[in-house]
Amino acid sequence: MGKDLRGLGGYLLAFGKWVLAAVALGVGCGVVGAFFHLAIDVVTEFRMAHTAIIWLLPGAGVLTLALYKLCRVGYGVGTNLILQTADGEGRVPILLAPLIFAGTLLSHLFGASVGREGAALQLGGSIGYNFGAAFRFDKEDREVLTMCGMSACFAALFGTPLTAAVFVLEVLRVGTMRYNALLPCVLSAYTAAFVAKCIGTQPMAFALSGLPEFGPLPALQVAGLTALCAVVGILFCTCIHKAGHLLERVIPNPYLRIAAGGLVVAIAAPLLGLYDFTGAGGHMITNAIAGQAPWYAFLVKILFTALCVGAGFRGGEIVPTLFIGSTFGCLAGPLFGLDPGFGAAVGLVALFCSVVNCPLASVFLAIELFSPGDVSTFVVAVAVAYVLSGYFGLYGSQRIVFSKVRQKVIEITAQ
C-alpha cells in the first residue's frame, strides 16, 4: 500500500509540474505569438499598400543575414534544428527567438514568398528549450518543453490548438508519438490560443461550401484529386530542397545569394503583375476556398517560395503549402466533378499531409479550419495523400520510422 501511495504521489507531483510548466509556457508563447501574428498583419498591410517597397527586398535579405552573423548564430539554424532538439539531438541558441522574429518580419515587410509557421516553431522551440534550461529541467524534460513551446506558438499564430499539439507530436518521428508529451503539448497549445485570442488575433478559419454527402462516388472523386495533390507535394518538396543546393553552388557567397534571390522576386512581381505571390498570400487561400484562383497560381507560388527559401529568407513553408494546395485544388477539383471551393479545401489538407507526413494533424486541421461536420471525405484525402506522397517531406531532419506500405521499420529521414 505504501508503495502504491508513493507511486500515486509521484504521479501527482509529475502531473502538477507539467501542468504548471505547460500553462506558463502557453501564456508566454501566447503573448509572443499574438504580437508576432499582429506584427505580421501590420507589415503585410503596409507592403500591400506600398508595393514599391519590394525593391528593397535584396537589402532586407542582406540585413537579416548580417543580424545572424552579428549575433553569432549560424544561418543554417532553423526548423530542422528545433526538430532535432525536440528529438534529443541539439540545443537551441537563446538568441534564435528574437532573430527569427526580426528576420520573418523583414521577409514579410518587403515581400519574400515565405510563411510564418517556421518562425512559430523556431520561436516556440527556442522559448521552450531555454525555459527548461533556466529552471534546470533535465535533458529529457527540456525536449518535452521544446515541443510545448512549438505547440504553443503554432497555436497562437494559427488559432488551431489541436492541430498544433498533434502536429508537434507526429512530425518528429512519423509512425510513433511521444505520449508523455501529450498533456503538456495540449495544455500549452490551448492556453496559447486562448491568450492570443484575448489579445486580439483571429484564428484561421474558412466558410466551406459544396461539401458533398459522403458516399462511394465522392470518395473516388476526392481520392483522384488527392492523388494529383500528392504529385504536387513531391514537386514542391523537391523544388524547396533542390533550390537551396543549386543556388549555393551557383552563388557561394551567402550575401550575394540572398540579394540575388530577392532581386529576382523584386523584378518579377511588378514586371509580371505577381504581387499576389509575394508574402504568405493568405488572401489567395481565401479566394481559392471561395472558388476563385488563377490556373497558374500553384506553379508560381512553388517557384517563388522555392527561390526565397533557397536563397535564405526567414519564414516557413506551411502557409505557402496551404496556398499551393488550395489553388491547385480549386483548379483540379472540377476535373473530378467537385465544387471548386470544396476542391480547394481538399487540396489544402491533402498537400499539407503530403509535405509534413502528419495524417492525424491533417484531419484535425480540416476540422479546425472548415468545421465540416462530416469529416469522412477529408479522412479519405489524408489517407491517400499520406501513402502516395512517399517519403518526401519539407523537413530534412524528420524521421520516418515505419514504411508507408509494409509492416516494416525503415528509420529514414524525409527526402
**Whether residues 16 and 101 fall in one domain:** yes
* Integer CA distances (angstroms), 128 to 26, 48, 164, in order: 10, 34, 15
Cell digits of residue 58: 535584396
Q: Which domain, by its residues, includes 104?
A: 2-199
What is the mean predicted confidence (pLDDT) over 55-78?
88
352-391 residue pLDDT tens: 999 999 999 999 999 999 988 889 999 999 999 999 999 9
Taking the C-alpha atoms of residue 346 and residue 333, their distance in angstroms, rounded to an integer, is 8
* Integer CA distances (angstroms), 237 to 15, 30, 67, 276, in order: 39, 30, 28, 22
More confidently predicted of 181 and 373: 181
**Whether residues 166 and 234 fall in one domain:** no
β partners of residue 409: 402
Around Cβ 374, how many Cβ atoms within 10 Å? 11
pLDDT confidence bin for 1, thresholds 50/70/90? very low
Q: Is residue 166 part of a domain?
A: yes
**Whether residues 190 and 222 fall in one domain:** no
**Whether residues 235 and 144 fall in one domain:** no
N-to-C CA span, the chain: 52
**Whether residues 180 and 33 fall in one domain:** yes
What is the mean predicted confidence (pLDDT) over 175-192?
93
Q: Is residue 286 part of a domain?
A: yes
Q: Is residue 299 part of a domain?
A: yes
Q: Is residue 226 part of a domain?
A: yes
**Whether residues 192 and 284 fall in one domain:** no
User: Last residue of a domain, which of 199, 225, 251?
Assistant: 199
**Whether residues 71 and 15 fall in one domain:** yes
102-116 residue pLDDT tens: 999 999 999 999 988
Asked whether residue 347 carries a pLDDT value surpassing 90, the answer given is yes
| Single-letter residue type at 254 | P
User: Last residue of a domain, which of 199, 225, 253?
Assistant: 199
**Whether residues 352 and 386 fall in one domain:** yes
| The pLDDT value given to residue 192 | 97
Q: Is residue 207 part of a domain?
A: no
**Whether residues 163 and 231 fall in one domain:** no
pTM of the shown model: 0.94
Question: pLDDT exceeding 70 applies to what percent of the chain?
Answer: 96
Number of domains forming the structure of the chain: 2
**Torsion angles phi and psi, residue 409, rounded to 5:** -80, 125
Q: Is residue 308 part of a domain?
A: yes
**Whether residues 173 and 318 fall in one domain:** no
**Torsion angles phi and psi, residue 229, rounded to 5:** -65, -35
Domain at 320, CATH number: 1.10.3080.10
User: Last residue of a domain, which of 149, 172, 199?
Assistant: 199
Q: Is residue 208 part of a domain?
A: no
| Single-letter residue type at 154 | F
Cell digits of residue 394: 519539407
**Whether residues 268 and 137 fall in one domain:** no
Cell digits of residue 389: 506522397
Q: Is residue 153 part of a domain?
A: yes
**Whether residues 174 and 247 fall in one domain:** no
| The pLDDT value given to residue 139 | 87
Asked whether residue 4 carries a pLDDT value surpassing 60, the answer given is no
More confidently predicted of 250 and 6: 250
